[in-house]
Amino acid sequence: MAFTVVYRAKALFPVGVFIFLTGLYAGFNLWWYPYLYLWPLLWGAAMLLPKNLTGWKATVCYVLLCTLHGLLYGTLYAPYQALVFGLSFQGMLAWIAAGFPYDLVHAAGNFAAGFLVLPLVKLLRTLSKKR
């Protein structure tokens, strides 16, 4: 989020590096392929935010987007799982329901992490000016 807010389209590079390194570290297996769309979706959503958000409006937007990404992570992951494992639509919905408690935990963690976005944005902007 912070890289996208500061560097905009150029932030897609660290997103790609993160996706690649995650696969390299943990193995390029079936679980990894949704990363190819889940993380660029967050980047795209962050790109839709106004460029010059400041103060409490920025904090609220960043926290909400981070929280929403955590909450919807399993739901966005589920269509891929349904295709790979041959689940019906009802099976996919059951998969989403079974994973929802984990999505709540994911959302809670992202909620907390979302409060770090604005300070990180300020730090990145300050460091960028010093170059």
Please write the tens of the pLDDT for every residue from 77-121: 999 999 999 999 999 999 999 999 999 999 999 999 999 999 999
Give Cβ neighbours of residue 5 (< 8 Å, ≥ 6 apart): 46, 49, 53, 62, 117, 121
Query: Any idea which residue has 């959503």 for tokens?
Result: 45
Rounded to the nearest integer, the mean pLDDT of the chain is 95
Q: How confident is the model at residue 54 (pLDDT cuts 50, 70, 90)?
A: confident
Confidence check: pLDDT of 13 > 70: yes
Q: Say if residue 126's pLDDT is above 80.
A: yes
pLDDT of residue 130: 78
- The per-residue pLDDT for 131 is 67
The model's pTM is 0.89
Element housing 110 (H / E): helix 89-114
